[in-house]
Structures are given as structure tokens and as C-alpha cells.
Structure 1
Amino acid sequence: MFSSPIWLPATLVAGALQAWRTAVQRRVSESLSLNGAGLVRYLYGMPFMTALLALYLVVFPTPWPRLNADFLLFCGAGGLAQIIATNLLISAFRYRNFVVGTAYSKTEAAQGAVLSFFLLGETLPPLSWAGIACGVAGVMLLSTGGRKLGLWDFVRALGQPAAVTGIASGFFFALTAIGIRRATQGVDTDTPVFAALIVLAVTVPLQTVMQGGWLLWREPAEMRRVLSSWRVSGQVGLLSALGSACWFTGFATAPVALVRIVGQVEVAFTMAFGHFYLRETMRRSELAGLILVAAGVILALAGTL
């Protein structure tokens, strides 16, 4: 739908913001239930998301575009997939450390490439596929958490709860990207940032209603803790709104697989936050994995030139 170089800086900024938001959200998850920790990114993100759209319309006065009939459907589907993915990611944190949990979820780049091929018909050049393979090898090395594993040990490790939930999280994040891309294609405008903000403005309230309604039904007492955590949760909401605006802009202007491959730079930011913010030790194997991820991103970009 769109052809704009803005997708690359938007994706890089999104990776940094997501790593920061996930680090803060992990701390929130220590005092809230699984669904309570997941809800804060949507509930506290709504005011900031609304402000972003309003600011855009003030700076760039633009008529409201026509929306396709299936626009709301794809916003809701993408939003629900993101709720599931986020809950699974928080669960992975509780099994293993912050970096390892994120590493498993970043298999979404490979899963997204396959799903976008079958569901959206998007294709990538061979060099970009090599970048995907390199990136996946990197995140798998990161997933070992510094332990020396043989081939059989590694295969068995994939059956551990952290691996299962992390990989499942990546699958639903990939579905999120596809749903959001389809939603942006349903916005009749030639401005990708505007389309991304409209999709965000619709998706986040839907997510708040879905997960907030579930929390009120299943864990009504938890809602009070969510509301009382506003000092830290507000940071999650701000970072989530800014990060999602950047991700959605990327999805609006480039193939899903390419955005997710480049988005693997989040792992570098994740390691930095894990080391400096959460005081987790960085091991040699994690550094080697990081180098592979960076090489994968470079290969993926080279394949598009």
C-alpha cells in the first residue's frame, strides 16, 4: 500500500522502546497477576495514544479517511493476538530471566516470514531469508542463558516451559503484525504515519475492553492493584504507545517479515536493559548470539538493496 523509507528508522526506534517498556513491565509483573500486568500497557497507553493522534491532527490537519468494511475486524484480531502474545511473554519471564524470555519470543521473525507468505503473499529475496536464519540462530544461542548445551540438550530445552511459552509468544506477535498490516491497508490515506495512528487509536481501546473485561470478570480484586500501580504503569503506557506507533508505521510501509527481522535489534537493547537496568549478568554466549542477530539484520537489509 505504501512505499516509504520511514519504516527503517521507525522499526529501530520501536525496538528500543519495546525493550525499555518490557523491562519496566517485567517489574510491574512482579506485583501484579499475569492479566493485570498485561492490561497496564493498554489501559495506561490509551491517554498517550489519543494524545499522539490529536497532536498529529493539530500539526498536520488532515481529513478523516474512509475505512474499509473489515478494518475493525483486523484491528480486533491483531489486538487480541497481541494480548495473548504479551501474556505468554510475561509467563516466559517467570520461568527464566528477562533476556532469555525475550530471545525465545524473537523467533517471531522467522514465524512472521512464513505466515506473511501464506496469509499476505509477501515474498523476500534469498539473502533476506539467510538473514532470518542467522537471526534465529542468534536468538537460539541467547536462549541457552550462557549454558553449554549439546544438540540433544538443546532439543530437550525446546520442550521446557520457557521455550514453549516464548515461541508461542512469537507466533502470536507474528499474527499481530499481520492483523495490523491488514488494518492499515484498510485506511484510505497516502500517509503511513496517519494510518498507523488511526489503527492504534482503534486497537488499544479494543484491547483495554477485552483484557479489562476479562480481569473484572475473573480477577476483580486485581483491578484495584492495577489502578494503584499508576506511577510505574504509566511509564509502561507511555512507552507502549510510542513503541506501538513506530511498529504500526513500520507495518504500514514495509512487508511484515522485513519489519520483524530488523526489529530483532530489540534483542541488543534488551540485553542492555537486562544488564544495566535489571542487573542481570551478560555472558560470552549472549554476546556471540547478539553478533549473529546483528549479522542477520544486515543480511536482511542487504537482500532488499
Structure 2
Amino acid sequence: MELWVAITFAAAFVQNIRSALQKYLKGAMGTTGATFVRFGFGVPFALLFLAIAVAVLDLPIPPVHTTFFLWVVLASIAQILAQALLVHLFSFRNFTVGTAYSRTEPAQAALFGLLFLGEVVTVGTLIAIAISVFGVMLISVARTAFSTKALLLSVTSRTALIGLASGTLFGVSGVSYRAASVSLGGPHAVIQAGTTLVVAVVFQTVVMSIWMALREPEEFARIRKAWKPALLVGLAGATASFGWFTAMTLQQAAYVKAVAQVEMLFTFAASVFIFKETITRMELAGCALIVCGVAALVLAV
């Protein structure tokens, strides 16, 4: 197994934990506050990871430049907006369809990788990505009244368009983070990823702090009261992001995002083995497609 694949698996697992912790925090604060802690409480851990990488590898932090910063700004804003759209979907009764369409992120990342960075993927890779994406979409709608046919025909619905927009922004974010990290040109993928992570989370923390101060100042008090679980969210978020950035420094964002669909398998396994939920045939089919798609992708690279 290639290093970037192993890192992606680990990052997907940790991100699943972070998502569960954020859902817990939703009971103590609003959506903005629960989103903020991912970045704000992740700053000290991002700094720690970078410091450890520099000490262990005995290599310097690369100097940042204008191109790097512009890519980070684009990636950071796209990530915040993508997350906001995804959260907005939950206000709709049929939000699952939109959520399913947001999972087209890997395919869109392949397109943006081509447009922004001139990265090309093979036909076999595109097929593997399509298989895993469809598998995730099946799981997303398996417990609703929507059929696969209805899902494919609903692309013009409001929720589907919001989901596609979220997937687009996540795709832009992933490709932009890769561009930022690669633009540093060394001295090591881990240090490049750590530097990118630190600059990104600091920028996102500043942006979201200004937003909350102007629009939702009451969130600061709620965050202070829940600082202990918020620290865990920050740790899990920074760890997952460090993994994503390292993997995307080593490999194209589309490949990493496609393999990252295994996160759905972790979520699905938790619902079955921890919460004892039943398994539907469509969910089993979706899991099988994700496994096949990821396996085909790894073999194709």
C-alpha cells in the first residue's frame, strides 16, 4: 500500500470521530460555533504538529510567498462556504438528496485539478472514482423514499443544486490546498503540509472570529462553556487535516478525495455495530461499490 493511501485511510477515520464530536457540540452551541471550534481549537495542535515535524526531520519551515498565500485563502474560504452549504441542507426535509450530490466532490476535484493545475487522470481512474461516488450516494439515500432513478432525475431540484455547489466548493478547496502545499517546493511533504495547515487554520479562525463578533457574538460564551469537548474537536480536526494535506501533497486531490470516501464505511460501521441499526440492501450495495471503487483506484494509480 502506498503511503498516501494509508495516510488517507487514517485521516478519514479521524475525521469520522471529529464529525461525531461536532454533532455532540451542536447541542451546546449553534452551527457557527460548532464549525468555529474545528478551526480555532485546532490552531495549537496544528502548531504542535508542525513543530514536531521540524524537530524530528531536522528540516526548516519553508518560506511562504504570495502564490502560496493566495491558494490558501481560496482553499480556506471555499472550505468554509462548502461546510456552510452542507449544514444549510439540513434545514430541508429532503436534505439527503442534496447531501448525496455533495459527495460528487472527488469527480469535481478531478475537473478542477485539470483546470487549475493541468493534472490529468486516466479513464480507468475516472471510472473508479465514479463507482465509489455512486456507492456513497446510494448509502446517503438508502433510508429515504427516493429511488436510485429518482435520485438521478432530481439533479435540478433545489437541494440537489445546493449539494452540487457544496461538492464543487469542497473540490476547489482540496485542489487549492494541494496547490498551496506543492508550491512551497520542499523541503519535505510533511513539513509542507504542516505549514499549509497552520496558515489555513489561523486564517479561518480569524475570518470566523470576525464573522461571529459581527453577527453572532453570543456564540463566544457558548464556546467557552464547552471548551473541553471543543479541544477534542480541535485535536481531531487538526489531525485529520494534517493527514489530508500530507496525502494531497503526495498525490492528486481527486485521488485522495476518492479514497477518502471510506469515511462513509466508518460511519456506516459505527451505526451498525455501536447503535445496532439494521442494514438495507441498498446500503450493502453502496458499501460494496465504495470498496470496489477505492480498490480499483488504488490499483490504477
Quickly say closer, same or farther: Cα 1:19–1:162, change in 2 above 3 A.
farther
Quickly say closer, same or farther: Cα 1:148–1:35, change in 2 above 3 A.
closer
Distance (whole Å) between structure 2 residues aligned to residue 24 and residue 96 of structure 1: 24
Quote the sequence identity (%). Answer: 35
Corresponding position of 2:293: 296
Corresponding position of 1:89: 86
Determine whether 1:171 maps to 2:162.
no
1:106 CA drift (Å): 2.2
Corresponding position of 2:258: 261
Corresponding position of 1:72: 69
- The partner residue of 1:105 within 102, 109, 112 is 102
Corresponding position of 2:14: 17
The normalised TM-score by structure 1 is: 0.89
1:283 CA drift (Å): 2.6
Quickly say closer, same or farther: Cα 1:42–1:21, change in 2 above 3 A.
same
Where in structure 2 are there 5+ consecutive unaligned residues? none
Corresponding position of 1:243: 240
Distance (whole Å) between structure 2 residues aligned to residue 146 and residue 196 of structure 1: 38
Determine whether 1:141 maps to 2:138.
yes
Quickly say closer, same or farther: Cα 1:27–1:90, change in 2 above 3 A.
farther
Report SS of the residue matched to 2:260. Answer: helix
**Residue type matched to 1:296 in 2?**
G
CA deviation string 1:159-200 (max 9, x = no partner): 566544433222111111111111112213141011000000
Corresponding position of 1:208: 205
Number of equivalenced pairs: 301
Query: Could you tell which deviates more after superposition, 192-201 or 177-186?
Result: 177-186
Query: Could you tell which deviates more after superposition, 264-273 or 4-13?
Result: 4-13
Report SS of the residue matched to 1:260. Answer: helix
Corresponding position of 2:116: 119
Distance (whole Å) between structure 2 residues aligned to residue 149 and residue 97 of structure 1: 9
Determine whether 1:185 maps to 2:145.
no
Contact residue 79 and residue 206 of structure 1 kept, 8 A: yes
Q: CA RMSD in A?
A: 2.5
Corresponding position of 1:34: 31
Distance (whole Å) between structure 2 residues aligned to residue 124 and residue 153 of structure 1: 30
Distance (whole Å) between structure 2 residues aligned to residue 235 and residue 225 of structure 1: 16
The normalised TM-score by structure 2 is: 0.90
Report SS of the residue matched to 1:70. Answer: helix
Where in structure 1 are there 5+ consecutive unaligned residues? none
Quickly say closer, same or farther: Cα 1:91–1:279, change in 2 above 3 A.
farther
Query: Could you tell which deviates more after superposition, 177-186 or 269-278?
Result: 269-278
Distance (whole Å) between structure 1 residues aligned to residue 221 and residue 271 of structure 2: 29
1:100 CA drift (Å): 7.5
Distance (whole Å) between structure 2 residues aligned to residue 247 and residue 98 of structure 1: 27
Quickly say closer, same or farther: Cα 1:240–1:99, change in 2 above 3 A.
farther
